[in-house]
Amino acid sequence: MISTIGHILILGSLLVAVLGAFLGFVSAKKGSERGAVQTRRMAYLFSSMMIGAMLLMEYALLINDFSVSYVAEVGSLETPRLISFVSLWSSLDGSILFWGAVLGVYTMVFARQSRNKPLDQGTWSLAVLMSIGLFFAFLIASVANPFEASQLPVPTNGPGPNPMLQNHALMIIHPPTLYLGFVGMSVPFAIASGALLSGRLDPAWLRYLRRWSLVVWGFLTLGILLGAWWSYEVLGWGGYWAWDPVENGSFLPWLTLTAFLHSAMVTSKRNAFAGWSLVLVMVSFILTLLGTFLTRSSVLESVHNFTSAGIGPTFFAAIVISLLFTIILLSFRMERLVPDPKPIAMVSRESAFLLNNMLFVAFTFTVLVGTLFPLVVEAVNDERISMGRPFFDSVSVPICVALIFLMGIGPVLPWGRPTAEVMKRRLAMPFAVALSVGLGVFAWGMRSGWGIAAFSLAAMAMSVSLREMVLPGLARRAAGEPMFTALFNGAKSSRRRFAGHVVHIGVALAAVGISASSIYREDVRVLLPIDEPVDVLGYTLEFKELKEVSEPHLTAEVAVVDVSRDGTDLGQLEPRNNQYFMMVNGMAMPRDEMPTPAVRSGLDEDLYLTILSSGPDSEGRDSVTMRVIVEPLMAWLWYGGLLMVLGSFIAAYPSKKKGTA
């Protein structure tokens, strides 16, 4: 019954998407207001069907209806209800259905908002968005259909979801957050397409595009951050980023969308880079399709990949069609949006933004080549390789340092053609801060050139952002307002500017955390006999017991370790290894073993323990072999990332002023 209803909803959404896309393009071409209204109704119906199909699948997962193929693939009577609920995105077909439902939510929101937008731009954009919905409805109805009926006889139990999904709470929120970013890129792409198809990019439409892009960028940043945190908390190697192909797949559109948010400021302020801004938005969407293709086609080796399936060729076709659509649209419509070029001073805010964009594009190209090069090698030599971390680090570190430098001086550079006196006055403070911090960390003992550069330039960027954040408030204070009120009203009056500097401070904090944890990381393996204190990397560790925890779907080996430093008790850490099971013919069969490190996190450093092995030592005593890692300022990365997300949502919050988007 559930399979039948699910099929009807998916096929219905496919039919509605076809009609909605066709009607949208025709209505936009003819300027038909009635047609635009009907297109919006089709969008609402499409969204309702997609969301309804997802909710139906969730119901099937919660009641363990093994007559549905997807439930038989990932469900289990032993799996906790919460894990059953989130197993929707634990495998290929369910994740695509979830993608379609998220697209439905975005489509519904955009359709409602487009009522108040110019008829041509809004209808063109909605038609493009419905075309994207058509593709995903086709995908779900064909090669990624989770509503297929199970083979007879209907199973009485299933294997349960991927152990990685069950092993940490971050996997409950990381994938949907990342999907909100990936799927959300459809809306800026549609808005940019609407501008090109209508031949207009007026200030209100640009603000609308930028606001949607900020929302998407915030979710994408949060998804990447949570993914890095999951890697750090679960995989046991003490790292958070390995330049994995799927990690790169999410990073690529983040880079180009970040470049767009900077480029759009120049477009808004100086009426420049308009065409380039649209190129960046549309490329960002194509890169999200590429990232999804890499994740779900298994063309590259990755710990994140889903099982290989027929979805690969279909997704590749979507990438080609989107790329051709973008190229044709830009080729025939770009000249309508590009104003006469104006000369840019060598040293100005415009030139800083231009260099910023060039660096982001270079960064994107480098990561893209490093990610796809193994595919080329395999196609030519039939040999699978992967690009290592040294390649990516050697390129990314200098680019990131240069970007932080621009983040420090860009906000103080004036628009237009500044005089030498103005430049000297505005740059004196940032360079003084950078020099002071650089000399300070050198005296402290840092000898890494890149590390000194990262610390000093991050301090420069933070000092500039803090100053720029309080300047409007200080002006109000000089006019007689009380200090606190003046600062609050100053921030409120320039909210987007304030939010941008919140993001910049977050980037600077993250840069410091990445630099310190990379340069001063200490990593040792140590044997801990029971009840015998051992001094390791400035801590005293005492192994107290090895206990076993049993749950219906797993057993866990948990090591209890007392931790102290300089005679101060810091409590206990309990790293564990989880052994998951699946039921086969009524018998529990072992699945993957997943480590769960224990982390004591502080503002100064993290202590990170992972169980490597357990058993008697040479003297017959119970013992565990631990991997012990100490990483300074690791928490600064997480706090900095959260500030970036917070700043993006503050900037995206709609203004109440009339005429703003």
State both tokens at 318.
Answer: 């979507």
Name the band, by pLDDT with cuts 50, 70 and 90, for residue 350.
Answer: confident
The answer to whether residue 340 scores a pLDDT higher than 70 is no
> How many other CB atoms are there within 10 angstroms of residue 235's CB atom?
20
pLDDT (tens digit per residue) in 54-78:
999 999 999 999 999 999 999 888 8
Q: Whole-angstrom Cα distance, residue 135 to residue 190?
A: 14
Write phi, then psi, for 552 (nearest 5 degrees): -55, -30
* Whether the bond into 80 is cis, omega within 30 of 0: no
Distances (CA, A) of 411 to 327, 361, 438, 510, 627: 33, 21, 21, 19, 44
State the pLDDT at residue 301. 52
Name the band, by pLDDT with cuts 50, 70 and 90, for residue 480.
Answer: confident
DSSP code, position 200: -
Length of the chain: 661
- Inter-residue contact 306 to 95 (CB < 8 Å): yes
| Comparison of pLDDT for 482 and 267, the residue scoring more | 267
DSSP string, 101-116: HHHHHHHHHHHHHGGG
CA angle 602, 560, 572 (to 5 degrees): 30
Give percent of the chain above pLDDT 70: 94
Q: Whole-angstrom Cα distance, residue 487 to residue 175?
A: 38
State both tokens at 161.
Answer: 């979801």
Q: Whole-angstrom Cα distance, residue 149 to residue 70?
A: 9
**Mean pLDDT within 89-106:** 93
Average pLDDT, the chain: 88
The answer to whether residue 1 scores a pLDDT higher than 80 is yes
The answer to whether residue 661 scores a pLDDT higher than 50 is no
Q: For the packed helices 449-478 and 420-444, what is the interaxial angle rounded to 10 degrees?
A: 130
pLDDT (tens digit per residue) in 389-426:
888 888 899 999 999 999 999 888 887 777 778 778 88
Q: Whole-angstrom Cα distance, residue 554 to residue 157?
A: 16
Helices (H), 479-494: 483-493
State the pLDDT at residue 427. 85
| Comparison of pLDDT for 217 and 488, the residue scoring more | 217
Which residue pairs from 240-245 have beta carbons closer than 8 angstroms and sit at least 24 positions apart in sequence?
240/637, 242/389, 243/367, 243/370, 243/387, 243/388, 243/389, 243/392, 243/393, 244/302, 244/303, 244/304, 245/294, 245/300, 245/301, 245/302, 245/371, 245/374, 245/386
The answer to whether residue 388 scores a pLDDT higher than 80 is no
pLDDT (tens digit per residue) in 540-552:
999 999 999 887 7
Helix (H/G/I), strand (E/B), else coil: 382: coil
Q: Whole-angstrom Cα distance, residue 389 to residue 631?
A: 19
**Taking Cα atoms as reference points, which of 81, 177, 119, 207 lies closest to residue 658?**
207
**Mean pLDDT within 199-214:** 92
| Comparison of pLDDT for 271 and 588, the residue scoring more | 271
| SS percent in the chain: helix, strand, coil, step 5 | 65, 15, 20
Helix (H/G/I), strand (E/B), else coil: 164: helix
Write phi, then psi, for 241 (nearest 5 degrees): -155, 120
* Helix (H) and strand (E) counts in the chain: 20, 10
Name the band, by pLDDT with cuts 50, 70 and 90, for residue 569.
Answer: very high
Helix (H/G/I), strand (E/B), else coil: 408: helix
State the pLDDT at residue 305. 47
State the pLDDT at residue 657. 54
**Mean pLDDT within 594-614:** 92
State the pLDDT at residue 400. 94
**Taking Cα atoms as reference points, which of 297, 305, 294 lies closest to residue 143?**
297
The answer to whether residue 582 scores a pLDDT higher than 70 is yes
State both tokens at 594.
Answer: 């997943």
Q: For the packed helices 203-234 and 170-184, what is the interaxial angle rounded to 10 degrees?
A: 150
DSSP code, position 608: E
Indicate the pairing of strand 568-573 with strand 576-584: unpaired
Q: Whole-angstrom Cα distance, residue 482 to residue 478?
A: 9
Helix (H/G/I), strand (E/B), else coil: 304: coil
The answer to whether residue 219 scores a pLDDT higher than 90 is yes
The strand pairing partners of 551, in sequence order, are 554
Q: Whole-angstrom Cα distance, residue 539 to residue 567?
A: 9
| Comparison of pLDDT for 166 and 601, the residue scoring more | 601
Q: What is the value of pTM for the model shown?
A: 0.92
- Inter-residue contact 29 to 119 (CB < 8 Å): no
- Inter-residue contact 50 to 137 (CB < 8 Å): yes
State the pLDDT at residue 554. 82
Helix (H/G/I), strand (E/B), else coil: 268: helix
Distances (CA, A) of 363 to 134, 180, 256, 367, 647: 33, 24, 9, 6, 23
Helices (H), 271-310: 274-297
Write phi, then psi, for 549 (nearest 5 degrees): -115, 130
DSSP code, position 154: P
The answer to whether residue 302 scores a pLDDT higher than 60 is no
State the pLDDT at residue 298. 59
DSSP string, 600-620: EE-SSEEEEEEEEEEEE-TTS
**Taking Cα atoms as reference points, which of 203, 333, 328, 323 lies closest to residue 270?**
203
State the pLDDT at residue 162. 80
State the pLDDT at residue 479. 77
| Comparison of pLDDT for 625 and 308, the residue scoring more | 625
State both tokens at 412.
Answer: 């103080």
The answer to whether residue 93 scores a pLDDT higher than 50 is yes
| Comparison of pLDDT for 185 and 484, the residue scoring more | 185
3-state SS, 237-272, equals: CCCCCCCCHHHHHHHHHHHHHHHHHHHHHHHHHHCC
**Taking Cα atoms as reference points, which of 616, 580, 615 lies closest to residue 595?**
580
